[in-house]
Amino acid sequence: MATSPAVYGVLAEFEDPTSLVSAAHQAHEAGYRRMDAYSPFPIEELHEAIGAHHTRLPLIVLIGGLCGCIGGFALQYWASTIAYPINVAGKPLNSWPAFIPVTFECTILVAALSAVLGMLALNGLPMPYHPVFNVPRFALASRNRFFLCIEAKDPQFDLESTRRFLETLNPREVTTVAD
């Protein structure tokens, strides 16, 4: 539409978490999808209010865990049956019960590492710059203010009408965010 390419989105500022959640609900109902909410502390309902879908993180952790499990077992199997086959107490070379503790630890290690690294990657972190920083008052997002930003990427985004829509949600202030 008539959107200038230099606009990242429109940012509305709220004074309390309840207004933010209700604004996010209304924006989602109005059909907006590409938006993000910012708050100084986690708000449980907010996640659903902005229509956040399930993340792919559980799948990444599962795959990491399986890799750790198979890798940990394979390492021990290779070491004790192929590379250094030593008969201990007459037990078979592939004494799998003895491998279980290490296999378990490797599963947890790789699953935990993939959870942390996967979370950072999916969030696009580390991110030293973000367009919302262009709004000076946004610094309050880490103190006592709550923000909802509808991004220009949204197919329904139109600078004028989106601004007018956000004004109806009783914000303290609505600002256009330069990209």
Partner 1 sequence: MVLTNTADVAIPELAGYQRRLLIAGAAGMIVSLAGLFMEPTQFLQSYLMAYMLWLGVTLGCLALGMVHQLSGGGWGVVIRRPIGAATRVLPVMTMLFLPIAFGMFRLYSWTNLDLVAHDEALQHKHLYLNTPFFLVRAAIYFLVWNTLTYFLNAWSLEQDTNPDPQFARRMQKLSAVGLLGYGLTITFASFDWLMSLEPHWFSTIYGVLIMGGQGLSALAVLIVVLVWLSRRPPLDRIIVAAHFHDLGNLMLAFIMLWAYFSFSQYLIIWSGNLPAEIAWYLHRLQTGWRAVGITLILFHFVVPFLLLLSRTMKREARTIVIVAGGILVARLVDLFWLIAPEFHQTGVSVSWLDVVLPVSLGAIWLGCFIWQLRGRAILPVHDPGFDEALGRIIEKAKERPAAAH
Instruction: From residue 57, give the alpha-carbon distance in Å to each of 42, 93, 113, 118.
Output: 18, 38, 12, 6
By CB under 8 A, residue 30 contacts partner 1: no
Alpha carbon dihedral 159, 21, 33, 52, in 10-degree steps, equals 150
DSSP state letter for 170 = -
For partner 1, give the closer residue by CB, 26 or 95.
Answer: 95
Nearer to partner 1, 86 or 89 (CB): 89
Q: Which residue in 30, 68, 26 sits closest to 49, CA to CA?
A: 26
Q: Least Å distance between CB 58 and partner 1?
A: 7
**Binds partner 1 (CB under 8 A): choice among 101, 121, 161, 172:** 101
Q: Is 97 in the site for partner 1 (CB under 8 A)?
A: yes
Q: From the CB of 17, what's the least distance to partner 1, in Å?
A: 12
Number of residues in contact with partner 1 under rule CB under 8 A: 8
Tell me which of 59, 62, 79, 178 binds partner 1, using CB under 8 A: 62
The torsion angles phi and psi of 173, rounded to 5 degrees, stand at -165, 145
Q: Based on CB atoms, which residue is closest to partner 1, 100 or 121?
A: 100
Q: Rounded to the nearest whole angstrom, what is the least distance from the CB of residue 101 to partner 1 in the complex?
A: 8
Considering only 83, 89, 125, 127, the residue that binds partner 1 (CB under 8 A) is: 89
Tokens of 118: 């996967």
Q: Does 1 sit near partner 1 (CB under 8 A)?
A: no
Q: Which of 171, 127, 159 is nearest to 9 (CA)?
A: 159
Residue 58 within binding range of partner 1, rule CB under 8 A:
yes
DSSP for 35-72, please give it. EEEE-SS--HHHHHHTTPPPPSHHHHHHHHHHHHHHHH
Contact residues: partner 1, CB under 8 A: 54, 58, 62, 89, 97-98, 100-101
